[in-house]
Amino acid sequence: MLTSVIVRVGAVCLAVAGQQASARVTVQHVDSLDRVYPDRPSPDAFRDVPISIPRGGSAAFQFAATSPRDVSCKMVLGAIKREGGLPLAGRATTYRLQPVHVEGNTQGSLKNRPGGEVPAGWMKHLVRPAPFDVMEVLIEADTIELTAGRTHAMLVDVEVSPDATPGRYTARLELHSDNDTVSVPFSFDVHRTLLPSTHSLHSVHWFWPMPENLTNEDPPPWWSERHWELIENSSRQLRRFGDDTVLTPLIDGREPLIRVSRNEQGDYDFDYSRFDRWVKTFLRLGFNTFAGRHVVNMGREVWVLDRATGTLEPLLRDSKDREAWLRFLPVFYRSLYQHLEENNWTSRYLQHQYDEPKDAELYQRLAGLARTHMPGVRTIDAINSRPETFSATVDVHVFNLITLVRNAELADRRRSQGRPVWLYHCTSPYPPYPNRHLDRPLSECRLWPWICCRWRADGFLYWAANLYRGADEYKTSLGPFPNGSQDPGHPPGDAWFYYRGPDGLRPSMRIVAFRSGLIDHTLLTMLAEADPKLAEEIVRGIIPSATEYRTDPAVYHAERRRILIALDKVQAP
């Protein structure tokens, strides 16, 4: 049980818009799905009915602040209380938001350039032309520095305990500067409905654990205690914002999770000590599934310790010798399978083989090796083309949106066979389809779990939580290619949803919105069991088709309330 809320000191200067003199700091509560730009006035004040939250759920409250002078402010969040004075059972965390730079808009596949031309008809789907800065990164802090004439933003993230008392709760966010204090109220409704401890939708944003991808300070040595600390701090954020599955390294790289050695007789041995620590760390944080990294080209990255000489050597004399790799892969698979079985982890493990495969014969061979040498281990892959060719070979078929819509019969056939259907997106789809790039409305980030609900996907996959490839993600947003190119590069924000801090990854406004969508999905799944007709009506009202969908934040809040009111009537007291 969480105790009554104890507010952390955050960082905001707050005042009710229109009620403070122009010489004072002005702050107003704005929608958490509104984009805030430093060079533009604050969005309109939030005027909808209070946000609806299930017990066990969470919600974010955004505030925008301006000042006629440079000023340092301290924020104090007052106690969150129900009518009658009962404190909220839960906790609240306050953040200042840091802007990031968007140097180019979404322009298409492999051709996004700083200031590049946007294809005809796309701009109406984007928030504004680049370049621009946008408030994006959540940073816990106890002060905020307001710059004269600029718009700043803050966030209060409220987590409601499962045993919280239903009702309307209110609080005030106060900002103290010099001899002045200003404040703004906000409120929300806690409903009787209890959110399950796990979401109905599986979620994974591929986590890249290289030390330089986990901190904006000097990276520690691989697998040092500091590295493990950064892994745990970062993965805790991924779990907090909805992921239950983690991409897991295997024997790849000079610093592999599973070390490979060879004795004088040519026999191989695999050291699972790091792998075991990885699995146990993520299990402790609440993850339940581990997806082994893709094996198709892994051979060129495998290094082997020769015990006789003590030297580290490449596994393959010729890095392009795929046949040699495919002869070795069963040796590793048999060892890995035995280790999974000994630890009762087989049911938790998925194996990626070949991302967006093109070669059907090679894919069949890889699938055969996995099934032969790891019986019972499920395979998973994103299939971008020819789904009829590849779907029968993979246990967890991850469709892209366009392919899923066009192959509804194939997806239905899989479901009838008890075979999972997942959904992914990456740089695509492009307008008029939704995406989650930095130049798209924040509501589209909340929309994707609704899309999963609409097309009955069991899980959601994204390729990059934190793949920076040498870029400073605060100063640039076009995603680097493997060679580091950002001119051209991937669309803005495509290569990361988290930002490096001194002690690990920081969440973003985009992932906050996505978490709200995960909660929506779970509630819709609950509603579908009680009233499938109403659930279907609500989902299709938000997203009639893959190119027709609602982006007005107020619609999402209204439908959340509608869902919870319906569930409150059928939930056991």
For 248-264, the pLDDT digits (tens) are: 999 999 999 999 999 99
**Residue 573, pLDDT score:** 66
**What average pLDDT does the structure give for the chain?**
95
Structure tokens at 64: 């925008």
Q: What is the mean pLDDT of residues 48-61?
A: 96
Helical axes 532-542 vs 553-570, angle rounded to 10°: 170
Q: What is the reported pLDDT for 571? A: 80
Query: Mind listing the pLDDT tens digit for each residue in 373-408?
Result: 999 999 999 999 999 999 999 999 999 999 999 999
Backbone torsions φ then ψ of 245, nearest 5 degrees: -130, 145
Q: Which fold has domain 202-508?
A: TIM Barrel (3.20.20)
Q: Where in the chain is the domain with CATH 2.60.40.10?
A: 26-116+135-194
3 state DSSP class of 406: helix
Is residue 414 scored above 80 in pLDDT? yes
d(CA 49, CA 82): 16
| Residue 5 near residue 156 (C-beta atoms within 8 A) | no
Q: Peptide bond before 375: cis, by omega within 30 degrees of 0?
A: no
Q: What is the pLDDT of residue 47?
A: 87
Which residue ranges does the chain devote to CATH 3.20.20? 202-508
Residues with Cβ < 8 Å from 566, sequence gap 6 or more? 527, 530, 531, 534
What count of residues does the chain have? Answer: 573
Q: Are 97 and 509 in contact (CB under 8 A)?
A: yes
How confident is the model over 114-164, as pLDDT tens digits? 999 999 999 999 999 999 999 999 999 989 999 999 999 999 999 999 999
- In the chain, count H helices and then E strands: 11, 27
pLDDT at 280 > cutoff 80: yes
pLDDT reported for residue 253: 97
Q: What is the dihedral of CA 553, 507, 15, 83, to 10 degrees?
A: 70
Tokens matching residue 507:
């969440």
- CATH for the stretch 26-116+135-194: 2.60.40.10
Q: What is the pLDDT of residue 9?
A: 36
As a dihedral over the C-alpha atoms of residue 521, residue 527, residue 533, residue 534, rounded to 10 degrees, the angle is: -80
Tokens of 455: 């097309």
Q: How far is CA 451 from CA 192, 488, 540, in A?
A: 26, 29, 10
Assign 22 a pLDDT band (cuts: 50, 70, 90). Answer: low
**CA separation, residue 571 to residues 195, 527, 528 (Å):** 11, 10, 13
Task: Return the SS3 of 416.
Answer: helix
Around Cβ 126, how many Cβ atoms within 10 Å? 19
The H-or-E segment that residue 293 falls in is none
